[in-house]
Every structure is written in structure tokens, then in C-alpha cells.
Amino acid sequence: DIQMTQSPSTLSASVGDRVTITCRASQSISSWLAWYQQKPGKAPKLLIYKASSLESGVPSRFSGSGSGTEFTLTISSLQPDDFATYYCQQYKTYLWTFGQGTKVEIK
Amino acid sequence: EVQLVGSGGGLIQPGGSLRLSCAASGFTFTSYAMSWVRQAPGKGLEWVSTISDSGGSTYYADSVKGRFTISRDNSKNTVYLQMNSLRAEDTAIYYCANKSPLEFLQHWGQGTLVTVSS
């Protein structure tokens, strides 16, 4: 199985901050990586696919980069609506696997 | 607007069976593979199963293989998850999602809660 490791597990930040979350794969997944946002009591929402492609309707302050085994999700200027938990997911091969999540909290 | 409405969850005793349903609308159901992903209380996301657009191919996580069966009825735009031999560790919210032709999970349903407890 391909293991996905996110860091940090929790991140405290203020509105307007630039935020970066890292996701590492245990083996190369090329660019077969997605990022999801989840708010409490809600279903996950797709933000980024193929490592760096922005899903339609997602604000441009979200961006993704990386390939192979190391990936990042960046929020250029954190907004109140962005406080949530973020997950990466590899879809190179079944079994699909998710990172453990990064909770972005208000500082 | 894409809608995925899950149902069928509830409280079930260990060893019991349950069938989840997910009714889809707002997209061409027969062109999309469908998946189930679960989330145990306070935990992260775990992929459970995927079925191809035709239903001819199915994939399962090791944790559910041999106990869960995914199926679909394209005439009803509905995907199912038959869960047998349920264990306490199967307790979770179960989300259905459609898989984009580009392979990622694009739209997610609201989830249905399954609680396995005596």
C-alpha cells in the first residue's frame, strides 16, 4: 500500500496568513494526488486534483504543487471560511489512501 | 446540480448486515465510476470500495474485502454497499462519491452513519 503522510497535523494561523501543508507519499505517485477540505459535520469537498489543477469554483487563493513523492497545498491569504481540516489522497493505484489530515485552527 | 443522497445507515449488532444506498442525480450516472469512503468518529478518511461505470469491475480495501459488496443499478441511478459480518471497527459515516473520468473523487454525498454496537 502507498502510505500518505501529512504535516503538520495541526496548524494555528491568523486571517491573512500564508499557509502551507505538506503531503509525502511512500513511493512515487507521479501527479495522481488530490486535496480535499472538510468542515465539521460536512462531507469533504474537492479543492485540487492532479496535484496542481484547481477544481472549478474553488477560490484562486488555493494552489497545489509537487510531483513524485512530495506535494504541498498552499493557501495564499487565509480567510475565515478556510478554517477546516485538509486531506491529501493518492489515486495512482487501488488501494487509494488518504493522509491523516491537517486541521487549520484560528490562532 | 450534482446530488448524492445516501441512506440505509443505523444501529446494528456485531455480526449483522446492512445495505447502504446512494441515489445520484445531476450528472450522467452511467459515465461515472462510484465509490464509498468512510470516516470513523473523530478520525480521518478511509477509502472502502469503487465500482466501474458499467459495474463490471469492483475494488475493495483489505479491511472490508470478503465482507462488503458494492453494486449499482444504472436504471435507478443508485449505488449500493452491502455490508455483512459487521464489526465495531466498521462504525463510521459512509460517504458515496462519484469518480471523475480523470480518476479523482469529484462530488460527495452527505454521508450516512453506521453504528455497530451491542
Cα–Cα distance, B76 to B72 (Å, whole number): 8
Contact status, residue B70 vs residue B76, Cβ threshold 8 Å:
no
pLDDT in tens, B50-107: 999 999 999 999 999 999 999 999 999 999 999 999 999 999 999 999 998 888 999 9
pLDDT of residue B101: 84
pLDDT of residue A93: 87
pLDDT of residue A46: 97
pLDDT in tens, A51-104: 999 999 999 999 999 999 999 999 999 999 999 999 999 999 888 999 999 999
A36–B contact, CB cutoff 8 A: yes
Size of interface A-B (CB pairs under 8 A): 55
To test the contact with chain B by mutation, choose from A96, A98, A100, A102 the residue with the greatest count of B C-beta atoms within 10 A, namely A96
Which of B47, B102, B110 has its CB closest to that of A96? B47
Q: Check whether A48 has a pLDDT greater than 90.
A: yes
Cα–Cα distance, B14 to B46 (Å, whole number): 20
